[in-house]
């Protein structure tokens, strides 16, 4: 099993650590157990769809400013032995905005080019059995193996790599050694 990028137990331990930091920072990560002994991390965030986050100087009645609900789930994939990021973007009424609009909301690294679908696509959420978007886990294990095992929290290391794509803000505090 030494070639496995991240075992379930390691995922659990890393998640616990992440939750601990999150609780301290109050940035909204939660854990849900499933009935059959698995579980996942999740977080919900509201974002304005304009995407222009520094636009503080806009006038009071900004036309077309809409709120989108971003839901992030981090699941463990036994097949890939690594975490997988599932997410959905819904409108103010709770309706999924569609894959194309979702892709329009993402921030891809320049080298992805227009080949978005090699990074993100849609699938059934393995636990909730609802359609979710997700980031392909194909390259996750490379990423995790590349990180030095034991020294850092691999889950957090991985998340910090993929978070910018899905506009998930991750405080620098996550990178600090555990204070407890």
Q: How far is the CB of 94 from another protein (least distance, A)?
A: 4
Q: How far is the CB of 52 from another protein (least distance, A)?
A: 13
Q: Is the dihedral of CA 111, 70, 163, 3 positive or negative?
A: negative
Using CA atoms, how far apart are residues 74 and 43, in angstroms rounded to an integer?
9
Grouping H, G, I as helix, E, B as strand and the rest as coil, residue 141 is helix
Query: Got the DSSP string for 12-41?
Result: HHHHHHHHHHHHHHT---EEEE-TTS-EEE
Q: How far is the CB of 1 from another protein (least distance, A)?
A: 29
Is 90 a binder of another protein (CB under 8 A)?
yes
Give residues 22-81 in contact with another protein (rule: CB under 8 A): 24-28, 44-48, 56-57, 59-62, 67, 69, 71
Q: What are phi and psi of 152, to 5 degrees?
A: -125, 170
Which of 11/40 has CB closer to another protein? 40
Give residues 110-129 in contact with another protein (rule: CB under 8 A): 117-118, 121-124, 129
Which of 53/146 has CB closer to another protein? 53
Is 101 a binder of another protein (CB under 8 A)?
no
Using CA atoms, how far apart are residues 43 and 57, in angstroms rounded to an integer?
28
Q: How far is the CB of 147 from another protein (least distance, A)?
A: 26
Q: What ranges make up the beta strands (E) of the chain?
A: 30-33, 39-48, 67-77, 82-90, 120-124, 131-135
Return the H-helix or E-strand segment holding 145.
helix 140-146
- What is the pattern of x (binds another protein, CB under 8 A) and - over residues 127-166? --xxx-----------------------------------
Q: How far is the CB of 2 from another protein (least distance, A)?
A: 30
CB of 1 closer than 8 Å to CB of 9: no
Which of 101/123 has CB closer to another protein? 123
Please give the residue ranges that form the binding site for another protein (CB under 8 A): 24-28, 44-48, 56-57, 59-62, 67, 69, 71, 88, 90, 92-96, 117-118, 121-124, 129-131, 169, 171
């Amino acid at each position: 099993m030494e070639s496995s990028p991240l075992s379930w137990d390691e995922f659990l331990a890393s998640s616990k650590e992440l939750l601990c930091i999150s609780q301290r920072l109050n940035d909204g990560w939660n854990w849900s157990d499933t009935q059959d002994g698995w579980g996942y991390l999740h977080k919900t965030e509201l974002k304005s769809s304009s995407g222009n986050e520094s636009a503080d100087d806009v006038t009071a009645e900004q036309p077309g400013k809409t709120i989108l609900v971003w839901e992030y789930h981090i699941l463990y994939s036994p097949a890939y032995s690594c975490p997988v990021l599932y997410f959905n973007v819904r409108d103010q009424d709770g309706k999924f905005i569609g894959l194309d609009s979702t892709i329009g909301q993402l921030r891809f690294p320049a080298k992805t080019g227009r080949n978005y679908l090699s990074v993100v696509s849609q699938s059934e959420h393995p636990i909730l059995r609802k359609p979710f978007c997700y980031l392909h886990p194909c390259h996750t294990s490379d990423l995790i193996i590349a990180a030095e095992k034991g020294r850092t929290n691999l889950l957090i290391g991985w998340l910090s790599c993929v978070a910018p794509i899905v506009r998930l803000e991750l405080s620098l505090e996550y990178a600090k050694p555990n204070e407890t």
